[in-house]
Structure 1
Amino acid sequence: MSAHCQLTGRKPGFGNAISHSHRRTSRRFDPNIQRKRYWLPSEGRYVRLTLSAAGIRTIDTIGIEAAVARICARGERI
C-alpha cells in the first residue's frame, strides 16, 4: 500500500535524520494513512479508500458523496 491519500493527495515528505554527532542520513516522513470502507448510497455499494487522518476528518465534514465526487473529478478510479 502506497503512502498516498486519495482525497487530500498527501504524500511522504523527505528530509534528513540528524544524529547526536550531527551526521545526516536520509529519512522519510510518512503521512498517517488508513484504509477505510464507506457505504456509498448513490451506487448501493461499499468503497474502500486509502485516506490520511486529515482525509477522514474531511469526509466527516463534507460527506462521502462530495468526497467521492472530488476524487473522481481528479480522474482517479474508485
Structure 2
Amino acid sequence: MSRICELTGKGRQVGHNVSHANNKTKRTFLPNLQNVTLMSDALGTSVRLRVSTHGLRSVEHVGGLDNWLAKTSETDLSLRARRLKREVAKKLDGAKAA
C-alpha cells in the first residue's frame, strides 16, 4: 500500500538528517495518513479512504466530501476518489434534472 493521500495526492518527501558535525544522511518524511470513513451526502453512503490529516482538515473546511470532490481536479485524486467523484457528479446532475 503506497503512502499517498487519496484526496490530496500528498506523498513522501526526501531530505537529510543533519548532524552537529554537518554530516548529511538521506531520510524520508512520510505524511500522517489515517484510515477514515467519510459520509457522502449525495450517495447516502459512507466511504473508507486513506487520507492525510491535512487533507481531512481541508475536507471539513470546505464542507464535506461531496464539496471537496466537486472543487478538486482529477489529477490530484486517486483512482478510487476519481470514481467516487464521477458517481457524486452523476447523482447531483440527476437530482438537478428531476
SS in structure 2 at match of 1:48: strand
Runs of at least 5 residues in structure 2 that lack an aligned partner in the other structure: 82-98
- Measured after TM superposition, the shift of residue 65 of structure 1 is 0.5
- Check if 1:20 corresponds to 2:23: no
Query: Counting helix residues as a fraction of each chain, which structure ranks higher?
Result: 2
Which is greater in Rg? 2
Aligned residues: 78
- Check if 1:52 corresponds to 2:52: yes
**2-structure distance, mates of 1:46, 1:40:** 6
SS in structure 2 at match of 1:56: helix
Query: Normalising to structure 2: TM-score of the pair?
Result: 0.64
Q: Note closer, same or farther for the CA distance 1:71–1:3 as it changes in structure 2 (3 Å cut).
A: farther
Percent identity of equivalent pairs: 32
Query: Normalising to structure 1: TM-score of the pair?
Result: 0.77
Alpha-carbon contact 1:7-1:70 (below 8 Å) kept? no
Query: Counting strand residues as a fraction of each chain, which structure ranks higher?
Result: 1
Q: Which residue of 2 aligns with 1:64?
A: 65
**2-structure distance, mates of 1:50, 1:70:** 19
Runs of at least 5 residues in structure 1 that lack an aligned partner in the other structure: none
